[in-house]
A and B are shown apart, each in its own frame.
Chain A
């Protein structure tokens, strides 16, 4: 079946630095990629939706200059957390939809970000 590879799985960074998270679709073309954030014991919160070759659409309250999303190809989308602060510590997970028109969603394995 469809697989989305997400890296890194865990990252610890210092305040003020930037962290890049990658999601790659294997064996299928991800026309649309969704980026989520999840706090402990809470549900997934959609941060932004990106379509290959165009600018991402951010949800209300999500700072587009802080959370940079790039979807340069049909198999790769990246989320960069810029100038990270401890409050950015969270679990980030991506999800892709197959560009062939199927309605299934495939999730990455997630990235646990800790900012110290």
Chain B
């Protein structure tokens, strides 16, 4: 049983739409990461959260520690946002602590 659940699995939007991707996890965590994987496979780390909210350009990430839930929002979506978005959590504090990944959300933004 995967300890990190993402929804939706697939999401298609029209350019300009507001996008929300959700992530929930089963137990307490040290940090939550949102990653972006492009069709070529490369992965970019978008956010690392342990509480509250972070914003970078059109991307906003929030986390609710009590509810064990995080959301990634994309405002004014654009076709170049099309990618797989992955939620990953870290349960431990040490440098060797691994990430546990969600299944990913395939986002397609149509022009």
Task: Mark A residues whose CB is within 8 Å of B.
Answer: 31-32, 34, 38, 42-44, 46, 49, 51, 91, 93, 95, 97, 99, 101, 103-110, 112
Name the one of A91, A103, A106 contacting B90, with C-beta atoms under 8 angstroms. A103
Q: A43-B101, A49-B98, A97-B95 are in contact. Are A105 and B41 (CB under 8 A)?
A: no
When distances are taken between beta carbons in the complex, the residues of chain B under 8 Å from A49 are: 96, 98
Give, as a whole number of angstroms, the nearest-CB distance from B106 to chain A: 8
Contacts of B44 in A (CB 8 A): 107
A69–chain B nearest beta-carbon distance, Å: 14
**Chain A residues whose C-beta falls within 8 Å of the C-beta of B103 in the assembled complex:** 42-43
A112 to B39, CA, bound (A): 12
Chain A residues, Cβ within 8 Å of B98? 34, 46, 49
What are 29 A-to-B residue pairs whose CB atoms are below 8 Å?
A34-B99, A38-B41, A43-B86, A43-B103, A43-B104, A44-B86, A44-B101, A46-B98, A46-B99, A51-B96, A91-B41, A93-B43, A101-B95, A103-B30, A103-B90, A104-B45, A104-B48, A105-B33, A105-B99, A106-B45, A107-B42, A107-B43, A107-B44, A108-B42, A109-B40, A109-B41, A110-B41, A110-B42, A112-B41
Known: A51-B96, A99-B95, A103-B30. A43 touches B102 (CB 8 A): yes
In B25-73, the 8 Å CB interface with A consists of: 30-31, 33, 35, 40-45, 48
Q: Looking at the assembled complex, report how far the CB atom of A36 sits from the nearest CB atom of chain B, in whole angstroms.
A: 9
B31/A103 in contact, CB under 8 A: yes
